[in-house]
Structure 1
Amino acid sequence: DFIALTDHNQVSELDKATSTRGSPAVRALPSGLIVLAGIELTHNPSGCQPAGDTSGKCRIHVNLLGVTGRVDGKLDWADRKTRLRIEKYQAALGAAKSLGGIVQINHPQWFWGMTAGLLAELGRRGVKLVEIANVQFAKWNKGDKDHPSMEEIWDGALRQGVDLWGVASDDAHDYHNRKGDKYPAGGGWVAVKARRDPQAIVDALAAGRFYSSTGVVLDQAEVVNGELLVEVAAAERGSFTIEMIENGKRVATTRGRSARRGVPSTGYLRAVVKRGDGAQAWVQPARR
Structure 2
Amino acid sequence: MQRIRLRYTKRGRLRFTSHRDFQRAFERALRRAEVPMAYSAGFTPHPKVSYANAAPTGTGSEAEYLEIQLAERRDPEQVRTLLNTSLPDGLDITDAVEAATSGLADRLQASVWELRLDGVEHTVAADAVAAFLAAEIVEVQRRTKNGLRTFDARAAVAGLEALPGQADRPGVEGCAILRLVVRHVTPAVRPDDVLSGLRATADLAPPVPAAVTRLAQGLLDEESGTVTDPLAPDREAVKAAQPTAAATTATPGVSPARGGAPEGPS
TM-score (norm 2): 0.26
Identify, as 1 or 2, the structure richer in helix.
2
Q: Taking structure 1 as the reference length, what is the TM-score of the superposition?
A: 0.25
Q: Larger Cα Rg: Structure 1 or Structure 2?
A: 2
State the structure with bigger RCO (CA 8 A, min sep 6), 1 or 2: 2
